[in-house]
Amino acid sequence: MTTDDRTSAGMVALAATIRAARAGAPWWAARLPDPGPGPMTPESLAALPVLRKSQLPALQAADLPFGGLAARPPAGFARLFLSPGPICEPGEGADTGAARALQAAGFGAGDILLNTFGYHLTPAGLMFDDAGRAAGGAVIPAGGGNTDQIVTAMRAYRPTAYAGTADYLNILLTAADAAGVPVALTRAFLSGAAVTPTLRAAFTTRGIAVFELYGTAELGILAYETPAHQGMVLNDGFWAEIVAPGTGDPLPQGEVGELVVTLYRTAYPLIRFATGDLTAILPSADGVAPPRLRGWMGRADDAVKVKGMFLRPGMLADVLATSPVTRARFVVDRVDERDRLTLEVEGAEDPALGADLQRAVRSVTRLGCDLRWCAPGSIPQGPALADLR
């Protein structure tokens, strides 16, 4: 499609999406104006309110499970997830966005995908499981953790491709080397966390081609690297905007801002959904090729990703809700090319309390953490989350 044809088709799809949302989802029906019988325009889209992921927990708590944003009851969806927040997320079947990303990198029949994304309550594991099989390959449903067992599976099955975070691939390669297990990987599909230049170079040196994918639990895979490695190609099935953080006002093409996405989806409409991620859209070089994202360029809000999971300062209050601790903070840094989460707590060391706090952190965030006891008054006033990476 030409750029003009893509825009015209997108405006028609946006209008149909908004009409369906008004007709089927109570929350949207109360907030969206009638788009009329024709297509949308970029200006009329920009006039609609932005929906932020941080709003979802409160909306859903007031109207379980989906906050009135869905056009079907829970039983009408193929899968039902619960992400940290907590956020209820309905899911369908095979994710064609991820399948396209794998196929664009040459993954297909004869390949075996080692899928280390989590299968428990969050969608990434099943998303890539569906995608690997839809692309024509076999899938090892490894999930996260259990490194020794995964290395054993690598010895037996000799997977040719990996899906997961860059940090965990580095852990697996180190473990495989230590166990004397030959590594047959030729491609790595990395998402969920930024890929550092050091790790990218290390994987490439080992003959593993790196393909970074960008997506979210709610939206699926939005963009992906191809063998050209010239930005991330935008997928189909949605309309992307780059807006000024905090305002929702569109920015000119090429400028860095927050990515806002509207899916052409009717069962669970997400309209002008703010991802919180900073990036820029690069125009089509020839007027025919799809536009590209420059890649992840930071956060527009106060959340950070740790080991592929979102961590928000507000989660600290949930961790401390039933604790006698009065001052604490999260600290994120990196050690040996791995994210490390530490909960700093003011007070005298108390092993029993420490164990309770670590359990609370895992329950709220689904992340393990180190614990550091600090002298009273030593934790600085200010943010509940310090990112030192």
Is 277 strand, coil or helix?
strand
For the stretch 155-158, contacts whose Cβ atoms lie closer than 8 Å and that sit 24 or more positions apart, written own/partner, are 155/179, 155/181, 155/182, 157/112, 157/114, 158/112, 158/182, 158/184
Give residue limits of the domains in the chain: 3-92+237-293, 96-216, 304-387
Q: Can you tell me the mean pLDDT for 84-106?
A: 88
Burial (0-12, 13-18, 19+ Cβ within 10 Å), 230 = exposed
Q: What is the pLDDT of residue 95?
A: 67
Spatial CB neighbours of 182, under 8 Å, sequence gap ≥ 6: 155, 158, 176
Q: What is the pLDDT of residue 337?
A: 84
User: If one looks up domain 96-216 in CATH, what number appears?
Assistant: 3.40.50.12780
Q: What is the pLDDT of residue 54?
A: 86
Q: Can you tell me the mean pLDDT for 317-329?
A: 93
For residue 346, give the nearest of 368, 315, 372 by alpha carbon. Answer: 372
| pLDDT band (50, 70, 90) for residue 164 | very high
> Across-strand partners of 243?
250, 258
Question: Are 235 and 223 a contacting pair, CB within 8 Å?
Answer: yes
How many of the other CB atoms lie within 10 Å of CB of 8?
A: 13
Q: What is the pLDDT of residue 94?
A: 63
Q: Can you tell me the mean pLDDT for 194-201?
A: 92
CA distance 374 to 349: 8
Q: Can you tell me the mean pLDDT for 330-355?
A: 93
Q: Can you tell me the mean pLDDT for 305-326?
A: 89
Mean per-residue pLDDT over the chain, rounded: 93
| pLDDT band (50, 70, 90) for residue 45 | very high
Q: What is the pLDDT of residue 285?
A: 78
Q: What is the pLDDT of residue 92?
A: 83
User: If one looks up domain 304-387 in CATH, what number appears?
Assistant: 3.30.300.30
| pLDDT band (50, 70, 90) for residue 246 | confident
Q: Can you tell me the mean pLDDT for 120-129?
A: 94
The H-assigned helical ranges of the chain are 3-24, 26-29, 42-46, 56-62, 96-104, 124-134, 147-157, 166-179, 197-205, 315-319, 351-365
Comparing 121-125, 272-276, 305-309, 339-343, which segment has the lowest mean pLDDT? 305-309
For residue 30, give the nearest of 51, 14, 11, 16 by alpha carbon. Answer: 51
Q: What type of residue is 83?
A: S
Q: What is the pLDDT of residue 309?
A: 82
